[in-house]
Amino acid sequence: MQETMALIIRQSRFIRNYSLNFVSAIVLVLLSKFIFRQYPISGLTLTIFNCLLSSLVSFIVLRIFHKSSTSSQTSAIRIQSFTRTLIISILFAGSVLFSNLSLQHNTLATYQLIKLQVPLMLMVIEYIQLRSNINSPSLTEERFHRDYSLPVFVAFIIIAFGTIVNISSDILFHPFGVLFACLSVLFNAFYQVLVQEEQASTTYERLRFLQIQTLISAFVLFPFWPFLDETFPFTLIVLAHWDAPTLFFLCGFLAFFVNVSAVSCIKDDTAIGYNMVGQLKTLIIVFLGSAIYREVINSQQIVSVLLTAIGSVIYVYITYQKKQQLG
């Protein structure tokens, strides 16, 4: 009976976390693209605002959660070393920053398809970990071969090939946009590897982790804002109108839900499980975003999207079957 109840609770939490991440991430990407099209705002500006607002919302929720939950008051928050926290925050900041810069310069199709390479990058990182004998509690030789079997590797090759076809045929190709997207994939993969090893098990600890992480990320990026952001002089002018700040606050609010649900998904499941669902989310954003913003997709790009869709379906199916076998 207890095992059945535990399974039901785990499944309901799984559905809640992934549903929240699925919906909030799609809306956040589409809203961010709208902001970049309507206002002279850079990806750096939006990243700083999202981090600050996400940290603020985390703080408010923590205060409410702390007052309303007696269990949270006795929850022992594990204090991480400052160095590790700083590294995670820098990786998070880099992941979000380069993702926003890529979204600013690329079409939604190119932006999203390059993001599909995160699982492949995770495989490379974990392979290097194993061969370098870097200690990791959750990574073993058996788990690596189980997660990255030959069919999964073939799926990765199909997704990568489809992405290359899309980039080469994109009529709005932007070299810096592609570079930013690749850097985002690299930072994102390293970030997921480290978050997967974190010990935050309760909701309170995860919110606290998110609050500290996003606040440090904002402070890491803030000194570069006036010097690296060419739109900096226009930012104050844009913020003087009511509509832009409203959209910024909405973006930050959505970023909070994306971030907290991402941490929960990776912790309750695995990084590879999180990316499994992310494959489907990415393809929905490609088709939905291209339709909304009327971004022209030529025949070669359609073929590339179909290729990545096939690779994604294979990857999702194989991963799902393995998860079912493991119970």
Domain parsing of the chain, residue ranges: 23-70+78-326
User: Predicted confidence band at 316 (pLDDT cuts at 50, 70, 90)?
Assistant: confident
Residues 6+ apart with CB under 8 A from 254: 24, 27, 28, 31
Question: Quick one: average pLDDT of 102-131?
Answer: 86
What region, left, alpha or beta, does residue 272 occupy, with left being phi > 0 and alpha being psi -120 to 50 degrees? Answer: alpha
DSSP, residue by residue, 75-99 = --PPPPPHHHHHHHHHHHHHHHHHH
DSSP 141: H
Kindly tell me if the per-residue pLDDT of 187 is higher than 90.
yes
294 token code pair: 């009327």
User: Predicted confidence band at 74 (pLDDT cuts at 50, 70, 90)?
Assistant: very low
151 token code pair: 């069919």
| 116 SS3 class | coil
pTM: 0.80
> Do 228 and 175 touch, CB atoms closer than 8 A?
no
pLDDT given at position 182: 93
Note every long-range contact of 137-141, with CB atoms under 8 Å and residues 24 or more positions apart, other chains counting: 137/197, 138/196, 138/197, 138/270
Kindly tell me if the per-residue pLDDT of 80 is higher than 70.
no
| Amino acid letter for position 6 | A
Question: Quick one: average pLDDT of 135-143?
Answer: 73
Kindly tell me if the per-residue pLDDT of 95 is higher than 90.
yes
Question: Quick one: average pLDDT of 163-167?
Answer: 87
Residues of the chain with pLDDT > 70: what percent?
79
Q: Is the dihedral of CA 133, 134, 140, 141 positive or negative?
A: negative
| 233 SS3 class | helix
212-234: burial string, b at 16+ Cβ within 10 Å, e else: bbbbbbbebbeeebeeebeebee
Q: Which has more pLDDT, 134 or 86?
A: 86
User: Predicted confidence band at 51 (pLDDT cuts at 50, 70, 90)?
Assistant: very high
pLDDT given at position 130: 84
User: Predicted confidence band at 33 (pLDDT cuts at 50, 70, 90)?
Assistant: confident
Kindly tell me if the per-residue pLDDT of 76 is higher than 60.
no
Average model confidence (pLDDT) for the chain? 79
pLDDT given at position 84: 86
pLDDT given at position 72: 45
Element containing residue 63 per DSSP (H, E):
helix 43-68
Question: CA torsion angle for 216, 222, 223, 224 (degrees, to 10)?
Answer: 120
Least confident piece of the model among 3-7, 163-167, 263-267, 294-298: 3-7
pLDDT given at position 230: 66
pLDDT given at position 188: 92
